[in-house]
């Protein structure tokens, strides 16, 4: 006779599974920040603190806060039904983000919250206690607990808010020298600045303030819409019963026209090249940053092409949004539209490069030879018939003329193309600095005169 039995996974094993869901440090913090934005926060303060020789991470917001009952409910893993329609400003989905993100980075998750100054609640998940007891035992703190009160007094906002604290941070390599740990923390902070600046740039540009150890996070617009040379493309709207998908094309300015401080947040010219492709936003929060995802192939001349895609959270099932909200599956009908749109925006990128190439090739000192018969090969030759060289050749003996021509041909054949490409990719605005060229030529002339 058939029967139903309880086949629930042991809490200790379940917790280990949750902690291995593939969060990075930045995506884990991003999930916590999602909750702050959903709670209506206007300011978020992030701290990476060293206390008594150990590090602790805190994220503090001035959102609406939670009552004791609300906090207890929200500390339950998977506390929200993903099928329930959410508010348009809600960035969550499964109700697991706070817990799974935290468990992936730390052994202790503490949350203090207060909807008003006289109503402070606290709850703690200690993963070691869960594993030892093999039970989901959540510790609820009294509102007068010293640790809770101290954190709120030191870091919290006076009227309302929430503090998420990670203790015993497991993502840190603490079994090494202190200098190495400090360097790792510094690297994580720098990476977090870039991640939040990019993935939350539309919130940072419209009222949200985020700081990390008191340093403000600056928005990073992946389309460079404020830079000279940016080209705005057409927009399409796809409608369905679950909402609208907005598709908009962008073409970036050529990197060589931008200052080094402008390029730096994007990882220089290499970052521009690797950043080509699709930028998918869910409720204005960036989920997918670059890559063509099988729509078309990547192209060096197409590296200025970007396509912005906006979807609402009501389309989560259709787009197969995961728990981390870091992966999406493009539906077939949207993919079909993107295959039509992508070549046009990439063509604009190519035109910008072609124009730059044609203008840079107009020089009396160089000849650019393009041979379509040889797979479109290109050669750059010093122009031995340039007007500037005629007076020089006129003063040379036949033998000296032959030697000079041989040298110019050799210089053309041995042009350091790979080194030039690498230098331009890393620092385009500082490659072939005319002041440096002039200084070096003067040094060479002085050396010749001294011979």
Instruction: Note the pLDDT tens digit of each residue in 33-73.
Output: 999 999 999 999 999 998 888 899 999 999 999 999 999 99
Q: Which of 30-34, 225-229, 242-246, 422-426 is predicted with the least confidence, judged by mean pLDDT?
A: 422-426
DSSP count for the chain of H helices, then E strands? 16, 15
Could you tell me the two tokens for 255? 């990197």
Nearest CA to 412 among 386, 381, 370, 389?
A: 381
* Radius of gyration over every alpha carbon of the chain, rounded to an integer in angstroms: 29
CB atoms within 10 A of CB 140: 13
What is the spatial distance between Cα 259 and Cα 427, in angstroms, rounded to a whole number? Answer: 9
Q: Is residue 385 pLDDT above 80, yes or no? A: no
The mean per-residue pLDDT over the stretch 75-85 comes to 62
Sign of the Cα torsion 68, 70, 74, 76 reads positive
Q: Is residue 13 pLDDT above 50, yes or no? A: yes
pLDDT confidence of residue 160: 95
What is the spatial distance between Cα 229 and Cα 212, in angstroms, rounded to a whole number? Answer: 32
Q: What percent of the chain has pLDDT over 90?
A: 49
Specify the higher pLDDT residue, 233 or 97. Answer: 233
- pLDDT band of residue 74 (cuts 50, 70, 90) is very high
> Could you tell me the maximum CA-CA distance found in the chain, to the nearest angstrom?
110
The mean per-residue pLDDT over the stretch 228-254 comes to 93
pLDDT confidence of residue 223: 96
175-191 residue pLDDT tens: 778 888 889 999 999 99
The mean per-residue pLDDT over the stretch 285-306 comes to 91
What is the spatial distance between Cα 139 and Cα 149, in angstroms, rounded to a whole number? Answer: 16
Specify the higher pLDDT residue, 79 or 227. Answer: 227
Contact call for residues 62 and 43 (beta carbons, < 8 A): yes
Q: What percent of the chain has pLDDT over 70?
A: 81
Nearest CA to 433 among 448, 423, 425?
A: 423
Specify the higher pLDDT residue, 225 or 398. Answer: 225
Mean pLDDT of the chain: 84
Q: Is residue 361 pLDDT above 80, yes or no? A: no
pLDDT confidence of residue 389: 74
The one-character DSSP state at 265 is G
The mean per-residue pLDDT over the stretch 302-313 comes to 94
- pLDDT band of residue 16 (cuts 50, 70, 90) is confident
392-442 residue pLDDT tens: 777 778 777 777 777 777 777 677 766 665 565 555 555 565 565 566 666
For the chain, domains (ranges, CATH) are 11-216 (3.30.565.10), 231-359 (no CATH), 363-450 (no CATH)
119-138 residue pLDDT tens: 899 999 999 999 999 999 99
pLDDT confidence of residue 421: 59
Report for 203-217, 310-324, 369-383, 414-428: range of highest mean pLDDT:
203-217
Sheet holding 277-282, edge to edge: 231-240, 243-251, 305-311, 277-282, 285-289
pLDDT confidence of residue 88: 47
106-124 residue pLDDT tens: 999 999 999 998 889 999 9
What is the spatial distance between Cα 76 and Cα 203, in angstroms, rounded to a whole number? Answer: 28
């Amino acid at each position: 006779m058939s029967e139903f039995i309880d086949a629930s996974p042991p809490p200790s094993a379940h917790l280990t599974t949750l902690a291995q869901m593939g969060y990075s440090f930045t995506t884990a913090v991003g999930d916590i920040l999602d909750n702050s934005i959903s709670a209506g926060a206007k300011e978020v303060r992030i701290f990476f603190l060293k206390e008594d020789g150990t590090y602790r991470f805190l994220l503090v917001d001035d959102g609406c806060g939670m009552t004791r009952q609300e906090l207890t409910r929200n500390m339950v893993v998977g506390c929200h039904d993903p099928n329930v329609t959410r508010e348009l400003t809600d960035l969550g989905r499964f109700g697991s983000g706070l817990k799974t993100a935290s468990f992936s980075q730390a052994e202790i998750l503490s949350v203090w919250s207060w909807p008003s100054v006289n109503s402070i609640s606290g709850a703690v998940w200690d993963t070691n206690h869960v594993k030892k007891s093999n039970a989901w035992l959540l510790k609820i703190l009294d509102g007068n607990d010293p640790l809770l009160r101290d954190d709120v007094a030191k870091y919290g906002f006076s009227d309302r808010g929430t503090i998420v604290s990670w203790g015993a941070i497991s993502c840190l390599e603490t079994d090494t020298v202190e200098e190495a740990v400090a360097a790792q923390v510094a690297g994580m902070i720098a990476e977090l600045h870039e991640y939040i600046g990019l993935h939350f740039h539309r919130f940072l540009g419209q009222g949200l303030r985020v700081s990390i150890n008191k340093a403000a996070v600056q928005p990073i617009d992946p389309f460079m819409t404020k830079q000279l040379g940016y080209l705005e493309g057409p927009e399409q709207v796809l409608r369905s019963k679950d909402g609208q998908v907005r598709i908009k094309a962008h073409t970036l300015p050529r990197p060589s026209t931008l200052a080094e401080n402008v390029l730096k947040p994007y990882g220089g010219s290499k970052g521009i090249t690797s950043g080509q492709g699709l930028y998918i936003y869910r409720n204005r929060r960036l989920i997918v940053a670059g890559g063509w995802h099988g729509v078309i192939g990547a192209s060096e001349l197409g590296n200025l092409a970007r396509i912005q895609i906006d979807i609402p959270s009501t389309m989560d099932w259709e787009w197969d949004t995961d728990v981390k909200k870091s992966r999406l599956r493009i539906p077939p009908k949207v993919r079909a539209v993107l295959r039509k749109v992508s070549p046009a925006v990439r063509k604009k990128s190519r035109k910008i490069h072609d124009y730059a190439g044609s203008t840079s090739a107009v020089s009396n000192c160089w000849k650019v030879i393009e041979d379509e018969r040889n797979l479109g090969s290109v050669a750059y030759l010093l122009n031995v018939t340039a007007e500037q060289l005629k007076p020089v050749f006129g003063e040379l003996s036949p033998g000296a003329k032959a030697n000079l021509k041989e040298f110019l041909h050799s210089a053309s054949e041995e042009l350091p193309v790979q080194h030039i490409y690498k230098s331009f990719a890393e620092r385009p605005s500082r490659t072939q600095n005319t002041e440096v060229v002039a200084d070096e030529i003067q040094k060479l002339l002085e050396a010749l005169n001294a011979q």
